[in-house]
């Protein structure tokens, strides 16, 4: 079993149960030296999608999941690794128990674009559920986003 570090909407436990039913949450931590940003507006969920980029002055809150091979393959398909939308990298995550090696997805697209307000809301709710600090959740909730009108929603 490998450890997956979720920083976007996959932080939300209900979403992960749908996508990876055999992958329990195993904790939380911080991805030090990385910054949360958005890209892929042309392929995204009503707008740009979350990704991370290296930045020595930043940190990203992550939710860790123990993911067996079958769920990992399912999540790879969902995240578009076969289509080269995302690629997987290994990173070190700081937890209260010490550093752990995990994998995560990074968008293979230029940084930029606005995410939808709904996507930001899912991410902020997920971070709050997982116990992220209040200022981190507030920063998510106050990020620039775009409103999407009726009829443009996802069917998930």
- H/E element, 38: strand 25-39
Q: C-alpha distances in angstroms, 19 versus 12, 59, 67, 110?
A: 11, 26, 11, 26
Topology (CATH) of 2-141: Hypothetical upf0131 protein ytfp (3.10.490)
Q: What is the mean pLDDT of residues 127-149?
A: 92
pTM for the full model?
Answer: 0.89
Please report the pLDDT score of residue 81 as a whole number. Answer: 86
Domain ranges of the chain: 2-141
Q: Please say if the pLDDT value at position 118 is more than 80.
A: yes
Specify the range with the lowest mean pLDDT, choosing from 114-123, 136-145, 147-156: 147-156
Instruction: Give the number of other Cβ atoms within 10 Å of residue 63's Cβ.
Output: 25
Please report the pLDDT score of residue 154 as a whole number. Answer: 41
Tokens found for residue 151: 């009829």
């Amino acid at each position: 079993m490998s450890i997956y570090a979720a920083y976007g909407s996959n932080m939300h436990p209900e979403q992960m149960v749908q996508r990876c039913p055999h992958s329990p949450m195993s904790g939380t931590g911080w991805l030090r030296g990385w910054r949360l940003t958005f890209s892929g507006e042309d392929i995204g969920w009503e707008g740009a999608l979350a990704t991370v980029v290296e930045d020595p002055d930043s940190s990203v809150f992550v939710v860790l999941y123990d993911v067996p091979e079958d769920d990992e393959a399912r999540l790879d398909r969902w995240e578009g690794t076969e289509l080269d939308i995302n690629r997987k990298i290994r990173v070190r995550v700081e937890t209260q128990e010490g550093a752990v090696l995990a994998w995560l997805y990074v968008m293979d697209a230029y940084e930029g674009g606005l995410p939808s307000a709904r996507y930001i809301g899912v991410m902020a709710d997920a971070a709050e559920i997982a116990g992220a600090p209040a200022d981190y959740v507030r920063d998510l909730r106050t990020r620039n986003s775009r409103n999407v009108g009726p009829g443009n929603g996802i069917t998930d």
